[in-house]
Structure 1
Amino acid sequence: MNVIGRATELPLLRPLVMMDKQEIITLSKQIGTYDISILPYEDCCTLFVPKSPTTNPNLRIVDKIEATMSHLPEWVDEAVAQTETIVLYAGEAAPATSENTGNEIKEDWF
């Protein structure tokens, strides 16, 4: 996490970093996301994870690799342009609208 944090100028928000696994599971059950989170699903994490991931990356190596990626800014812009906001409510999904920004927190979630 240190190298990732130092390799970007943007602030990184890690809301779950101070919670242990059981606290996260309990919270996911309270807000209604647990059942979907345990479904078997091959997402990008399972499809593209290396067989031997680096657990102690070197910032200088990361910087050198990123320096060779001339299209990186365009890739980031494209990824941001294709993001989708989905607002979830406890027990049900609600469509995201301009009036519903997802910034609302329901008291009964916690």
Structure 2
Amino acid sequence: MTSTKRYRPPCLARDFLRDEVEMSTALERRTAKLEQAAHPGANQIDIIIRRVIGTVGDEIVRAVIGDHVVDRHADEAEDVFVERSKAEALARTDRRPCRIILHPNRLT
């Protein structure tokens, strides 16, 4: 049995739905996800990871964070590089995570 509660739609939807509507819990979760997706830049950091292959066959992998570029070391695993890029991106913002754990490359 799903619970229902009274829900007032956000201002954009309020133009179409003038009154309050009853929503199931599942529909309420979906609506919350859609509202969160409507503001995509509110809690995100832009990291662009590029793999550049030259004509000679040399390969450069770099992460672009705003105007800062982080290059991948030759002996660095891809997962470690992505985590290091995320850590540098977070360090350049005003938001501070409580903890960042970077694990060394694990051999399997």
TM class by smaller structure:
under 0.3
Q: Could you tell me the TM-score, scaled by structure 2's length? A: 0.22
Q: Which has the higher strand share?
A: 2
Q: Which has the higher helix share?
A: 1
Structure with more contact order per residue of length (Cα contacts < 8 Å, sep ≥ 6): 1
